[in-house]
Structure formats: C-alpha cells, structure tokens
C-alpha cells in the first residue's frame, strides 16, 4: 500500500463523466509493483447540492473546478483502509469535509486523516451509506436511487478490469481483479472476507433490486449489462 499523500499530487486520470444527473465518476491510474492499476472516484450530489466523494482522487485544477461547479464537497468516504492515498490532501483542501470510513478500517485510516464517523445519514433518502456485511467492517458501499434507476457504488469486493496485457495483466487476472467477467478478488477473499455467507446474502439482496441499473467499482469498468445477474454469479462463486 502506498503511503498517504501529504501534498496535492495529481496522478494520471481522465475527465469527470456524468453517469446520472447527480453522479459523476472519473478513472485514474496508480503504479503498483505489478504495473498500472485503474482506480475510480465517484461523486454523488445530494438533494441540497452537497457532494459525497467516494474514494477520492486528486484531479487537475480544471477538473476540480468542474467538480466544485457540480456542488459543494461535504462528505469524504474512505471506503477501506486501502483507499486512503488521497484522503488527507482532500481534507486539507476542504477542511469542512466530514470523513467517513467503515468501523473496521478506522484505525488505519486515522493514520492518514482524522475520521469523523463510521456511519452517516446524508439527509437524503436517495443516498445510503452501507458497511458491507461479511467484510469485518472493512468495506463501504453506497446505494444511490435516481429517477432512472439505482446505482451501487462498490469498492474492492468486486474487480472488473478488462483491458489488461503483459505480466501485469496476467497477475491482475490471477488475483481476480481482471478477467472476462466480474470477480471477487482473491486478496479480498483471503484478507477481508470473514463471512462469505453474509456477503453472498448481501449480493443477492442487491440483485433483487428491480431498479438496479449499474454497479460502479473502484477497479474496473462499470457493470451495466445485467448487473443483477452479475451479482448472483458473484454470490454463487462465494458459495463454492
């Protein structure tokens, strides 16, 4: 895990893209020992125009201005202790941010940035913070209901990297972050999941949402073709 940044440092990233009227997402890139890894930040706008920033990424000034035009950053969701790289510099830039992380991740996240809460009510019934069952309290997710359907924002429990090549691509496929279909990555299974049945039950509960339109994951492409089926397949794989 890379050390948390202490100064605003812009790593390679794309442009903020709207997936709904109140949801923006951007994909960046970090260099790991095995090669380059895509990473995603998702920004959700509440009904009062405050922003929920999930898995923050430092963007260039043009994109940061676009984000600020979208709304006022109010909540910084550090979805696990593996996603704290940019947390401190975001808090430094926006001191009023409320930092939220799941309870199991709090100790490590606080080595990077003070944590305000391990649960939160955003004051908007359409946006819900979830500590994912079966993950020892280490993984957070968001459920966002909109006029065209529901978006799930997940972190490391699902990998969906598709465009991989070379040794790094082979390794990411071996670890379950990449492949021809979504996977629960092997390191997540080994180090984070303490109750496969509980996680599988949560995946099936999400799959039963008739309004589910897409799943945004921190590492990989959005799952917007039969997201319900993808969740059921992931749950079945956990049963093995």
pLDDT of residue 224: 95
State how far the Cα of 24 lies from the Cα of 16, in Å rounded to an integer: 6
CATH number of 17-239: 3.60.15.10
Confidence of residue 37 (pLDDT cuts 50, 70, 90): confident
Q: Which residues contact 44 (CB under 8 A, 6 or more apart)?
A: 22, 23, 51, 52, 54, 127, 142, 144, 153
Q: Which residues contact 20 (CB under 8 A, 6 or more apart)?
A: 144, 146, 148, 151
Kindly report, residue by residue over 72-96, the tens digit of the pLDDT: 999 999 999 999 999 999 999 999 9
Kindly report, residue by residue over 135-155, the tens digit of the pLDDT: 999 999 999 999 999 999 999
* Predicted model pTM: 0.94
């Amino acid at each position: 895990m890379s050390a948390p940044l202490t100064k605003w440092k812009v790593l390679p990233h794309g442009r903020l893209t709207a997936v709904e009227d109140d949801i923006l997402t951007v994909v960046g890139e970090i260099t790991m020992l095995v090669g380059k890894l895509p990473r995603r930040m998702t920004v959700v706008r509440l009904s009062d125009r405050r922003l929920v920033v999930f898995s923050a990424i430092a963007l260039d000034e043009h994109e940061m201005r676009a984000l600020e035009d979208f709304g006022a950053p109010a909540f910084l969701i550090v979805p696990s202790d593996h996603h704290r790289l940019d947390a401190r510099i975001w808090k430094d830039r926006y001191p009023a941010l409320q930092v939220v992380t799941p309870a199991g991740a709090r100790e490590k996240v606080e080595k990077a940035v003070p944590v305000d809460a391990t649960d939160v009510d955003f004051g908007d019934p359409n946006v819900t913070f979830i500590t994912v069952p079966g993950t020892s309290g280490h993984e957070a997710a968001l459920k966002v209901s909109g006029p065209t359907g529901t978006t799930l924002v997940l972190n490391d429990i699902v990998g969906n990297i598709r465009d991989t090549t070379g040794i790094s691509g082979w390794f990411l496929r071996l670890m379950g972050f990449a492949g021809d279909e979504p996977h629960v990555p092997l390191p997540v299974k080994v180090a984070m999941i303490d109750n496969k049945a509980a996680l599988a039950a949560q995946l099936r509960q999400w799959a039963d949402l008739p309004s589910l339109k897409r799943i945004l994951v921190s590492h990989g492409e959005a799952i917007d073709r039969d997201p319900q089926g993808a969740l059921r397949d992931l749950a079945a794989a956990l049963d093995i």
